[in-house]
């Protein structure tokens, strides 16, 4: 006992201070995590904006990883092009193209083969947490200054989501438009006259195990986003993308 007290007294003050700060930081992080993943309540609504700013994207939890049936929803991304306000191409399931070419019958598939599935999953996660008015904004058509105007519309909504969540939504919306731009160039050609792109995601849930022999599957859920202008990120390679799509479709 005396030896324990002696060791405690021999520790420098700065070490005790650091230990106290680290303990407080860990406790605060655990409390924030519990609040973030817990059910909606008054405290969660009060601290929604700072909580989202802290947790997203690095500390976001997905408890379905530990569930007995971790993946029950198949998400796909569809793309089509618009020549003007009235004429458009057919929808193309770009996720299906990726999966058939890069994943099926491949023992060591590349993560690049699930790019659109991951994108559809991430935007679905944020889309499901915003309210109906905000979802309606995303269905609107924006042909110029699209994402600055979308941000302005979303930020002026009553009972809007946190600025952090809106930022991530628009980042994924913009990324989908950039992917769609490369796809329409590769699929229909750069000279086809496509002026705008449009994306939708489709969620198809697997039947519950108890109903696995049922005649009908669960109805798919669609999230249709409005028309967006053609956009290319710095460093995107049209030729490389077109070559990949050609392999997918071959």
> CA-CA distance, 108 to 244, in Å (whole number)?
18
φ and ψ at 201, to 5 degrees? -115, 145
Residue 61 has a pLDDT of: 57
Can you give the pLDDT of all 250 residues of the chain as single tens digits? Answer: 455 555 555 678 888 889 889 999 888 888 877 777 666 666 666 777 777 777 776 666 555 445 554 556 789 999 999 999 999 999 999 999 887 765 555 555 555 557 889 899 989 989 999 999 999 999 999 999 999 999 999 999 988 999 989 999 999 999 999 999 999 999 999 999 999 999 999 998 776 666 666 667 778 889 999 999 999 999 889 999 898 888 887 6
> CA-CA distance, 222 to 245, in Å (whole number)?
24
Does the model's pTM come out above 0.75? no
User: Are 174 and 147 a contacting pair, CB within 8 Å?
Assistant: yes
Residue 217 has a pLDDT of: 73
């Amino acid at each position: 006992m005396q030896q324990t007290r002696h060791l405690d007294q021999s520790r420098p003050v700065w070490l005790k201070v650091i230990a106290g700060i680290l303990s407080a930081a860990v406790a605060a992080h655990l409390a924030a995590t519990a609040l973030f993943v817990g059910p909606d309540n008054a405290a969660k609504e009060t601290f929604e904006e700072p909580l989202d700013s802290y947790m997203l994207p690095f500390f976001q939890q997905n408890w379905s990883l530990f569930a007995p049936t971790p993946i029950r929803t198949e998400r796909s991304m569809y793309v089509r092009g618009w020549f003007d306000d009235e004429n458009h191409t057919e929808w193309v399931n770009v996720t299906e193209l990726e999966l058939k070419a890069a994943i099926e019958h491949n023992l060591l598939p590349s993560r690049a083969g699930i790019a659109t599935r991951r994108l559809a999953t991430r935007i679905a996660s944020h889309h499901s947490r915003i309210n109906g008015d905000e979802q309606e904004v995303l269905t609107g058509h924006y042909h110029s200054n699209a994402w600055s105007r979308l941000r302005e519309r979303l930020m002026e909504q009553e009972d809007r989501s946190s600025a952090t969540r809106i930022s991530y939504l628009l980042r994924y919306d913009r990324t989908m438009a950039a992917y769609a731009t490369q796809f329409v160039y590769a699929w229909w050609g750069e000279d086809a006259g496509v002026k705008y792109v449009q994306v939708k995601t489709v969620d198809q849930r697997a039947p519950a195990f108890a109903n696995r022999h049922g005649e009908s599957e669960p109805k798919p859920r669609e999230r249709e986003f409005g028309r967006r202008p053609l956009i290319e990120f710095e460093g995107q390679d049209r030729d490389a993308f077109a070559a990949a799509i050609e392999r997918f479709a071959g």
